[in-house]
Structure formats: C-alpha cells, structure tokens
A = this chain, B = another copy of it.
Amino acid sequence: MTERQLRTWENLQEVTELLRREVGRDLWNDAKLSEAEFTVLAHLSMAAKGTARPSECARAIGWDSSRLAHQLRRLEKRGLVEKAASEAADGRASLIALTDEGRTAYRRALGPHLRSAQKWFADALSDEQVNNLADALETLLRHGSHLAAAPAPTAEPRA
C-alpha cells in the first residue's frame, strides 16, 4: 500500500467511527433507540402487517441470525416487538411482530434520525463529493462481496 492509500484507510476508519458514535448518540437522545434497534424496527415497519420471519428479516438487513436473535430478545424485553403464532407449514418457522409501542417508537425516531444523518453526513458534502463517494463505496462493496463469497485463493471446492 502506498502512503496515500494507508492514510485514506486510516481516515475511513476514523470518520466512520466518529459518525457511528455521533449519529447513534443523536438517535438515543432523540428517541431512546439504538442504531441496532432502529434497524430492526425499520424493517418490520416496512413489512406488511409489521410481521416477519427472523430468517427473512436477517437476510434483508444483512445480519447473522444470531445477531438478530440477540437483538430480538432485547427488543422484546423493551416491549417493542413480540413473538406471534406462525401459521406456516414449516414447523421451524417463527414469527415476530411489531407492537403498537414499537411502531410508535419507530415513527417518532424516523424524522430526527434522518435529520441527524443529514447534519453529520449530507450537509458536509457537495453533490460531486457524494457522487464520487458513492462510486468508491459501490466498488468497495462489490469487491468485498466478491472476496467474502470466495475467500480461498485456491480453486473452488467442486466445480
């Protein structure tokens, strides 16, 4: 890596840690929700009837099923989410549902959260900077997904 690449890599870490912390703090101060809680509530609010299967939800937001299970336990403890009876044929399936309180919490959090993201992120950058950033991020995402899908530099196991 060149000096410039290294410096940029370090800056990326520093900036994202800063934004993560500050936007998370804003969300907590404004709506008493963590980023993780907000993410799950957002997906459930999107879903018809506010219900979803854990596996489907985890896939949609790009989480490990374990991570989601832990988060659902915390959300249930807070009363923002509850388990619902699943009428699916698959006996393994379960169903999670937004409570009224959960739906209200999400609705009240959404506006301030977007305003916070604008304040810390969007307000800083020109249109061109956003376009350039979007390009770099898409490239990194493709590259990363590709690497993650085939981690071994050797041949695939079974063609």
Contacts and interface: CB of A to CB of B under 8 A. Distances in A.
Interface stretch (A51-59, A79-87, A94-102, A125-133): A125-133
A11 interface: yes
A60 interface: no
A124 B139 contact: yes
B1 A137 contact: no
A60 to B, nearest CB: 13
Contact of A123 (B11, B13, B132, B143): B143
Contacts of A118: 1, 5
A100 B8 CA distance: 31
A22 to B, nearest CB: 7
A18 to B, nearest CB: 5
A154 interface: no
Nearest to A138: B11
Contacts of A139: 124-125, 129
